[in-house]
Homo-oligomer: A and B are copies of this chain.
Amino acid sequence: MDNRDWAIVRATPLFGAMPQDVALSIIGTKPVRVLDKGSLLFQQGEPAASFFVILEGWVKLFRSTPEGTETVVSVFRRGETFAEAAIFLGGRYPVSAATVTSARLLAIDGDVLRRRIIEQPQLALSMLASSSYHLKGLVEQIEQIKSLTAPQRIAAFLVNLAPASEGSCLIELPYEKTLIAQRLGMKPESLSRALAKLRPLGIRVDRENVSVSDVRLLARFAEATDQIDE
């Protein structure tokens, strides 16, 4: 773990809010785990031993039914933590986790964290802030699925990825379109169609590269109650 990694850790809602020495004492000299794309981190129902910080790459959280269908709940990226809350929920993970790119992660022991919370009460506030942050993300996702059409959901997804909030820009899709579709609650075919529908709004797609001619226009489309009339 180098300085760059350390900067990432300090930028998380969880480790950013606590004093530096406390953060250091929790992370300690944990080795960085380097993983291939598609590595399973933990499975839904397993005892929740640890939680994770992403130093590099992308990780999906998903639920699977006995029949084998898989529902993606969220996808996290570098600088995000996940599964912190699971440690406090009867000690079992409510979802499974797997990397969707090659990745470097920090795994942090749950027991250690729990003990530290007792010693360092402010630490609990950081944890709560971080867990609230995840809660808010899920709430926003529910709102999007319930109230937006497929093209609007991708529009919102692209706006989130855009480096600026206006003007034109280029966006590189961070992972496969199949996964994006799952994350947005639709089939890959629907994603293709929805992206095609955004063409009149100045969106061009070539493999993983997306060019947006007017981010603000896209954002307005994502929020609009009435749609384009061809």
Residues of A in contact with B (beta carbons under 8 Å apart) = 63, 65, 67, 69, 71-73, 85-86, 88-89, 94-95, 114, 117-122, 124-125, 127-129, 131-136, 138-143, 145-147, 185, 223, 225
**Interface residues of A, dominant DSSP:** helix
Our pick among B63, B86, B131 for the contact of A85 (Cβ within 8 Å) is B131
Taking CB as reference atom, which chain B residue is nearest A118? B121
Question: Nearest-CB distance from A39 to chain B (Å)?
Answer: 22
Q: Are A128 and B125 in contact (CB-based, < 8 A)?
A: no
Known: A69-B147, A138-B138. A125 touches B88 (CB 8 A): yes
CA separation between A114 and B128, bound complex, in Å? 11
Q: Are A143 and B63 in contact (CB-based, < 8 A)?
A: yes
**In the complex, chain B residues whose CB is within 8 Å of the CB of A225:** 65, 67, 69
Q: Are A135 and B85 in contact (CB-based, < 8 A)?
A: yes
**In the complex, chain B residues whose CB is within 8 Å of the CB of A145:** 142, 145-146, 185
Q: Which of A85, A124, A127, A185 has the most CB of B within 10 A?
A: A124
